[in-house]
Amino acid sequence: MEAGSRSQPQVEGPAASRRRVPAWALGAIPLVLIVAALTALLTFGGDTLGERLGPPVEEIAVERTVLRPGEIELTVRNTGPDAVTVAQMFVNDTYVDYRTTANEIARGGSETFTLAYPWQRDSPYLVTLVSETGATTEHEIGVAVQTPSADAGFYGLMALLGVYVGVIPVMLGMLFLPFLRRVREHWVRFFMAVTIGLLGFLAIDAYVEGTAIAESGTGAFGGTELLFIGAGAAYLGLVALDRFLRARGERARATGASAFQLSLLIAIGIGLHNLGEGLAIGSAYAIGELALGAFLVFGFALHNTTEGLAIVAPLSDHRRPSLARLAALGSIAGGPAILGAFVGASAYNAELAALLIGVGIGAIVGVIVQIVPAIRDGTGRALYPASVAGILAGAAILYTTGLLISA
Amino acid sequence: MNFNRRQLLGGGAIAAAGALTALDPRGDRAAAQDSSTTHAGMGTQGHGGGTAGATMRKGATVDHRANGFNPTDLLRDFDEGRTRRLASGRMLREWEIVAADKEIEVAPGIKYPAWTFNGRVPGPTLRAREGDRMRVRFVNGSEHPHTMHFHGIHPAGMDGVPEVGRGVIGSGESFVYEFDAEPFGMHLYHCHVGPLAEHIARGMYGAFIVDPRQGRAEADELVMMMNGFNTNFDAEGNQVYAVNSIAFHHVNEPVRVRRGELVRIYLANILEYDPINSFHLHGNFFEFFPTGTRLQPADFTDTVAMVQGQRGILEVRFPSRGMFMFHAHKTEFADLGWMGFFDVA
């Protein structure tokens, strides 16, 4: 009995102490220990492994090229584990003078170098950066074109490009609304299926393009994984937005508010997609690779008109929406192309482009998931001959109109 | 676009020019000259930049002190060895040459891990008179095996190639090469250990001058070894070209010569990874003595082309003062460092 009664507190001991130590402390203690251990590793850990086996790893890449008359400006990022010192540069096998604030580029850092070189319009150039160890990094300038300066005229042009490519086509597509409101319900379901086909193809197209862009970057901030990060964030964000709107709109469901919400979600999704599209167009313009002209405007108009159709499709059985609301939907879907064009033309960066294209993909997938219930027929099936035909038709439309765009 | 050092080895923008002229040396010479007929735009101030032509980054300089040699000094640095009359009356010349691994700055800021004779690239200019006895004690202080292979007439055992005579001289070993100085002319010596291209590209070469018995006319004598450095080790062309190693050195420090005085240039091409090199003088013509083995000039010209190992003697007088450019008439090499000026005073 004596022993038993004494053993009792021993069993309760740990439980009691668990209650005494506050939860935040239990979280803070390992955090402090981890910080201390990492600091110790950072300070002393490297020495225990000795020197690296090979010479310093010199990995640098040109992040941005600006061409001005008689000058080539390169922004160079160090993507490797060691600092890199640029010693000299030559362009097409001719050493050149250049200005910079520092020749040494720290790990992860970047420096700007301004080369004095009488480049000729429309010619290709190969810039070679020679490091202090004699290692060379080559940077190709496909076609030399003077980089547009970011003045009012330039932003005006980018805004016009964004309007042509994003806003006008989407709004044109929305003109199908009266037609959709008149046709029978199974036709509406068919057009919704067409929308799914359109969006699905758009997602695949964006993925293919995004992968190429991601791989063209310096890799300092990652490559293809940025597509997935962007896509995941956009998809989950859209789902969260949908849940939030649903919760708020429960009472209004009878009035058809959910149909408008679906339109809004689709518009947001398409808007996010157009942000990436504008970015691609703006950057192509800045490096002189965009064939401006009627064909570009026409091609995008045809291509993106279908996006407008997707936005208004859910509104076919909705009470007549106000013109202001429709304009808002159109702006949400098309407007980001303008913003994208600004960013793309003035501060293009492959990693940012990949991330934004990823956001567009995630948004599209999110929208598709939203639309699927709207194509279910009377028996609840999503896939039946008419819907499959619609999906395939949608993909075919985008494939065909995509051929008209060479940007 | 991730570039690590190894991936970069594929770069070699210079390779294309080399590939064009890979097969027939005679045909190459013509092709190389045809493809580089213009040198307009180079500044007569010798500074360059922008439309004034090629230049290294302004303000950047090579630390000659750290290198242990200044190309300006190498021009007129002739090493005639320690001399002693033999009982037979012949002159014996003795040298000690030490191989050493050494990092040298071949262009402002660009360091190259060279292998050297006596700590310099090119190695010392060894000079003798026709018929002298030469005794060259070679000490290999490098981490790598080397030899000294002389161009000239000598016994097989003194040829300085692997597996003949003493063959390869290992790290820390030494050997005495002994032979007669013949024939007279402008020759060279270099390491002959494999991989041969690398041992030459790394800087193991120097001039070997044999004067004719009767001597040559008094002149301001200069030695120019046309060379280059493949700094990224891709074995496809070079990133730096020069005479006597340092890119654009004689743009910054022109070769000072006197008006009307005979100038004699001992010129050799020891450039690796490019099949041909050339020398072109502005505003003047020179007498050219191929290999320097005849006393009569073979040509009166302003441009000569040479394959690797080819050499000759140039004799020229400058009739007027001023800056006269000289460079490879392979403009690409000129723009990558093989360019300089004579400053005629």
Please spell the DSSP secondary structure of B84-150, one letter per residue.
Answer: EE-TTS-EEEEEEEEEEEEEEEEETTEEEEEEEETTBSS--EEEEETT-EEEEEEEE-SSS-B--EE
User: What's the mean pLDDT when you consider all of chain A?
Assistant: 84
Distance between B317 CA and the closest CA of chain A, angstroms: 31
Cβ–Cβ contact B277 with A under 8 A = no
Residues 47-66, chain A, touching B (beta carbon < 8 A)? 55, 57-62
Closest to B280 measured CA to CA, from B339, B206, B220, B345: B339
A60-141: in CATH 2.60.40.10: yes
Residue A93 to residue B111, Cβ atoms within 8 A: no
User: What integer pLDDT is reported at residue A376 of this predicted model?
Assistant: 87
| Residue percentage of chain A with pLDDT more than 90 | 30
Residue B114 has pLDDT above 90, yes or no: yes
| Residue percentage of chain B with pLDDT more than 70 | 86
**In this predicted complex, what is the ipTM?**
0.84
> Sheet harboring A71-78: ordered strands across?
A60-68, A71-78, A110-116, A98-100
- The size of the A-B interface in CB pairs under 8 A is 119
User: For residue B95, what are the contacts with CB-CB under 8 A and spacing of at least 6?
Assistant: B79, B81, B82, B124, B126, B134, B135, B136, B137
Cβ–Cβ contact B254 with A under 8 A = no
Residue B21 has pLDDT above 60, yes or no: no
- State the virtual CA torsion across A15, A16, A21, A23 in degrees, nearest 10: 50
User: What integer pLDDT is reported at residue A295 of this predicted model?
Assistant: 65
User: What integer pLDDT is reported at residue B50 of this predicted model?
Assistant: 86
Tokens matching residue A255: 């009035």
Is B115 within 8 Å of B199 (Cβ atoms)? yes
The C-alpha atoms of residue B280 and residue B38 are separated, in whole angstroms, by 12
Return the DSSP state at A121: T
Q: What is the mean pLDDT of residues A377-395?
A: 90
- Stated pTM of the model: 0.79
Q: Taking the CA atoms of chain A, what radius of gyration do you get in angstroms?
A: 28
The C-alpha atoms of residue A65 and residue A96 are separated, in whole angstroms, by 16
Nearest to B110 among A98, A126, A134 (CB): A134
B111 contacts in A (CB within 8 Å)? 132-134
User: What integer pLDDT is reported at residue A252 of this predicted model?
Assistant: 54
Tell which wins on pLDDT, B178 or A352: B178
B14 contacts in A (CB within 8 Å)? 93
User: What integer pLDDT is reported at residue B194 of this predicted model?
Assistant: 95
Is B21 within 8 Å of B32 (Cβ atoms)? yes
User: What integer pLDDT is reported at residue A250 of this predicted model?
Assistant: 65
User: What integer pLDDT is reported at residue A251 of this predicted model?
Assistant: 54
Distance between A138 CA and the closest CA of chain B, angstroms: 7
Chain A residue at shortest CA distance from B47: A97
Q: What is the pLDDT of residues A94-108, one digit of tens each?
A: 999 999 999 999 998
Residue B319 has pLDDT above 50, yes or no: yes
User: What integer pLDDT is reported at residue A369 of this predicted model?
Assistant: 87
Residue A61 to residue B110, Cβ atoms within 8 A: no
Is B326 within 8 Å of B285 (Cβ atoms)? no
Q: What is the mean pLDDT of residues B258-275?
A: 97
Closest to B189 measured CA to CA, from B140, B241, B146, B130: B146
Cβ–Cβ contact B236 with A under 8 A = no
Domain spans in chain A, listed from the N-terminal domain onward: 60-141, 152-402
User: What's the mean pLDDT when you consider all of chain B?
Assistant: 88
Q: Please tell me the total number of residues recorded for chain A in this structure.
A: 407
User: What integer pLDDT is reported at residue B258 of this predicted model?
Assistant: 98
User: What integer pLDDT is reported at residue A3 of this predicted model?
Assistant: 44
Residue A89 to residue B57, Cβ atoms within 8 A: yes
Question: 């506050």: which residue's tokens?
Answer: A22
Beta partners for residue B268, in sequence order: B225, B311
Q: What is the pLDDT of residues A235-276, one digit of tens each?
A: 999 888 888 877 776 655 544 557 788 888 889 988 988 888
User: What integer pLDDT is reported at residue A60 of this predicted model?
Assistant: 93
Nearest to A87 among B3, B108, B232 (CB): B108
Mode of pairing for the β-strands spanning B91-107 and B125-129: unpaired
Cβ–Cβ contact A222 with B under 8 A = no
Confidence tier at A165 by pLDDT (50, 70, 90) = confident
Chain B residue at shortest CA distance from A135: B232
User: What integer pLDDT is reported at residue B23 of this predicted model?
Assistant: 37
The C-alpha atoms of residue A157 and residue B16 are separated, in whole angstroms, by 42
User: What integer pLDDT is reported at residue B37 of this predicted model?
Assistant: 31
Among A14-18, A212-216, A290-294, B32-36, the minimum mean pLDDT is found in B32-36
The C-alpha atoms of residue B9 and residue B25 are separated, in whole angstroms, by 26
Residue B32 has pLDDT above 50, yes or no: no
Tell which wins on pLDDT, A354 or B24: A354
The C-alpha atoms of residue B278 and residue B255 are separated, in whole angstroms, by 18
User: For residue B75, what are the contacts with CB-CB under 8 A and spacing of at least 6?
Assistant: B222, B223, B224, B244, B255
Confidence tier at A9 by pLDDT (50, 70, 90) = very low
Residues 81-140, chain B, touching A (beta carbon < 8 A)? 106-112
Residue B305 has pLDDT above 80, yes or no: yes
Residue B288 has pLDDT above 80, yes or no: yes
Give DSSP secondary structure letters for A343-368.
HHHHS--HHHHHHHHHHHHHHHHHHH
Return the DSSP state at B169: B
A384 alpha carbon, distance to own chain's centre = 34
A216 contacts in B (CB within 8 Å)? 1
Nearest to B332 among A88, A93, A126 (CB): A93
B8 contacts in A (CB within 8 Å)? 135-138
Distance between B180 CA and the closest CA of chain A, angstroms: 40
In degrees and rounded to multiples of 5, residue A233 shows phi and psi of -60, -45
Confidence tier at A290 by pLDDT (50, 70, 90) = low
Residue B25 has pLDDT above 70, yes or no: no
Tokens matching residue B290: 């191929």
User: What integer pLDDT is reported at residue A239 of this predicted model?
Assistant: 87
Secondary structure class of B175 (helix, strand, coil): strand
CA distances from A210 to A76, A217, A340, A353 (A): 22, 11, 15, 8
Residue A18 has pLDDT above 60, yes or no: no
Chain A residue at shortest CA distance from B17: A93
Q: What is the pLDDT of residues A353-362, one digit of tens each?
A: 888 888 888 9
Cβ–Cβ contact A87 with B under 8 A = yes
Residue A61 to residue B56, Cβ atoms within 8 A: no
Residue A96 to residue B49, Cβ atoms within 8 A: yes
Q: What is the pLDDT of residues B150-203, one digit of tens each?
A: 999 999 999 999 999 999 999 999 999 999 999 999 999 999 999 999 999 999
Q: What is the pLDDT of residues A304-337, one digit of tens each?
A: 787 888 888 888 776 778 889 899 999 999 999 9
Residue A396 has pLDDT above 50, yes or no: yes
Distance between A351 CA and the closest CA of chain B, angstroms: 12
Residue A96 to residue B337, Cβ atoms within 8 A: no
Confidence tier at A389 by pLDDT (50, 70, 90) = very high
Chain A residue at shortest CA distance from B229: A134
Residues 285-324, chain B, touching A (beta carbon < 8 A)? none
B58 contacts in A (CB within 8 Å)? 97
What domains appear along chain B, each with residue ranges and CATH number?
Answer: 28-62+218-344 (2.60.40.420), 78-211 (2.60.40.420)
Among A174-178, A345-349, B84-88, the minimum mean pLDDT is found in A345-349
A95 contacts in B (CB within 8 Å)? 54-56, 107, 247-248, 335-337
Q: What is the mean pLDDT of residues A177-181?
A: 88
Is A119 within 8 Å of A139 (Cβ atoms)? no
Residue A219 to residue B55, Cβ atoms within 8 A: no
Q: What is the mean pLDDT of residues B41-62?
A: 73
Cβ–Cβ contact A128 with B under 8 A = yes
Tokens matching residue B50: 């922008």
Nearest to B3 among A60, A90, A92 (CB): A60
User: What integer pLDDT is reported at residue B284 of this predicted model?
Assistant: 97
B18 contacts in A (CB within 8 Å)? none
Closest to B182 measured CA to CA, from B141, B211, B153: B153
Kind plus residue range of the DSSP H or E element containing A321? none
Q: Would you call B99 exposed, middle or buried from its count of C-beta atoms within 10 A (0-12, 13-18, 19+)? A: buried
Distance between B3 CA and the closest CA of chain A, angstroms: 5
Residue B8 to residue A219, Cβ atoms within 8 A: no
